[in-house]
């Protein structure tokens, strides 16, 4: 029970980095970190007394210096007189499991800390039915986001929902919006003599129109994207439902520019073949018409059976 290593298998080589030749004959402290030597003495003392140590989780040292988390089962080996003459160690690398446990504990700690910082809103909140402001404890009226932010840890980001985008797009194209724009321009023009047609007076209309135009580009484009997508879906449904229509046209908007040009050439060929076959009112897909054209002579007259 001197602590000398007598056997060293391939699993130990992989776990600790030492080969059998390097480990056999050395003291077991070879793989024990400096802060674990006291623990080692206690383990050896228990083994001398014939006690078995099961599932002991501890730290060992790799050859390159990094630590290895292990779970060890250590059993004493006794002779016929029940004297301890050695020990058998079964060690399992649990480094990955320990890492996951630490991450889990850190996550739980973060969640607990976050929950302790959360302020919960409860009870009846008086809110204006018109402007949607909330009355605070002092009797004042605040915007919803200001009140909620002051009474919780919530933060707000501002954007425009699809319904409001549609309303803005519809309103900007209405007669009222046009009238308002004309009135603003007229009001600006009438104030010209008051400000002596100064550069600042001209800058007001230039800046205002630039900002409005900049914002409207994105509002209108968003609305157009939605309308275009809806049109594509409807056309795809028509193509899929019509008997004889070419299913290759479904989702044609996703094709590249070269593929669209190639498809346009095929439709040009379709028109030419329809004229040759005098079938300008018939409905055929490209695939069907190509088969019909193969049975016709160059002059466009059908073959006689």
Q: Which residue, among 116, 192, 128, 119, has the nearest Cα to 149 in the 3D structure?
A: 119
Tell me how far apart the alpha carbons of residues 95 and 75 are, in angstroms, rounded to a whole number.
22
Q: What is the mean pLDDT of residues 271-288?
A: 63
Question: Both tokens of residue 305?
Answer: 């059976």
Q: How far is CA 25 from the centre of its chain?
A: 55
Task: Give the pLDDT confidence score for residue 259 in this predicted structure.
Answer: 77
Question: Both tokens of residue 231?
Answer: 């049109």
Q: What is the mean pLDDT of residues 164-168?
A: 77
Tell me how far apart the alpha carbons of residues 294 and 292 are, in angstroms, rounded to a whole number.
5
Lowest-confidence region among 35-39, 113-117, 291-295: 291-295
Task: Name the range with the highest mean pLDDT among 102-111, 125-134, 213-222, 270-279.
Answer: 102-111
Q: How far is CA 70 from the centre of its chain?
A: 36
Residue 134 has pLDDT above 70, yes or no: yes
Task: Give the pLDDT confidence score for residue 285 in this predicted structure.
Answer: 59
Q: Say which residue, 172 or 69, is predicted with more confidence.
A: 69
Task: Give the pLDDT confidence score for residue 292 in this predicted structure.
Answer: 60
Tell me how far apart the alpha carbons of residues 240 and 40 are, in angstroms, rounded to a whole number.
77
pLDDT digits (tens, 9 = 90+) for 173-201: 788 888 988 998 999 999 989 988 899 99
Tell me how far apart the alpha carbons of residues 257 and 201 are, in angstroms, rounded to a whole number.
47
Q: What is the mean pLDDT of residues 210-228?
A: 82
Task: Give the pLDDT confidence score for residue 183 in this predicted structure.
Answer: 92
Q: Which residue, among 3, 50, 8, has the nearest Cα to 29 in the 3D structure?
A: 3
Tell me how far apart the alpha carbons of residues 161 and 170 are, in angstroms, rounded to a whole number.
14
Task: Name the range with the highest mean pLDDT among 94-103, 122-131, 232-241, 288-297.
Answer: 94-103
Mean pLDDT value across the chain: 78
| Distant-in-sequence, close-in-space partners of 69: CB < 8 Å, separation ≥ 6 | 57, 58, 59, 93, 94, 95, 97, 98
Q: What is the phi-psi region of residue 90: left when phi exceeds 0, alpha when psi lies from -120 to 50, beta otherwise?
A: beta
């Amino acid at each position: 029970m001197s602590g000398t290593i007598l056997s060293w298998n391939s699993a130990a080589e992989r776990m600790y980095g030492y080969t059998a030749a390097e480990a056999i004959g050395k003291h077991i402290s070879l793989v024990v970190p400096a802060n674990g030597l006291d623990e080692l003495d206690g383990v050896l003392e228990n083994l001398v007394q014939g006690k078995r140590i099961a599932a002991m989780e501890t730290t060992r040292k790799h050859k390159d210096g990094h630590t290895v988390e292990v779970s060890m089962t250590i059993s004493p080996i006794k002779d016929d007189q029940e004297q301890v003459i050695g020990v058998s160690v079964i060690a399992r690398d649990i480094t990955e499991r320990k890492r996951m446990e630490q991450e889990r504990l850190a996550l739980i700690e973060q969640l607990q800390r976050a929950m302790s910082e959360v302020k919960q809103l409860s009870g009846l909140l008086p809110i204006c039915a018109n402007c949607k402001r909330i009355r605070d404890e002092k009797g004042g009226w605040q915007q919803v986001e200001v009140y909620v932010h002051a009474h919780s840890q919530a933060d707000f980001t501002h954007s425009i929902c699809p319904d409001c985008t549609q309303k803005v797009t519809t309103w900007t194209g209405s007669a009222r919006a046009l009238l308002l724009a004309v009135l603003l321009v007229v009001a600006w023009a009438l104030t010209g003599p008051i400000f002596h047609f100064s550069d600042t007076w001209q800058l007001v209309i230039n800046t205002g129109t630039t900002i409005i135009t900049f914002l409207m580009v994105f509002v209108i484009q968003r609305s157009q994207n939605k309308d275009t997508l809806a049109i594509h879906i409807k056309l795809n449904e028509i193509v899929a439902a019509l008997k004889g229509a070419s299913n290759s046209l479904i989702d044609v908007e996703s094709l590249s520019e070269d593929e669209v040009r190639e498809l346009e050439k095929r439709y040009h060929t379709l028109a030419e073949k329809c004229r040759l076959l005098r079938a300008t009112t018939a409905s055929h897909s490209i695939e069907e018409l190509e088969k019909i054209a193969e049975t016709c002579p160059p002059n466009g007259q059908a073959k006689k059976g």
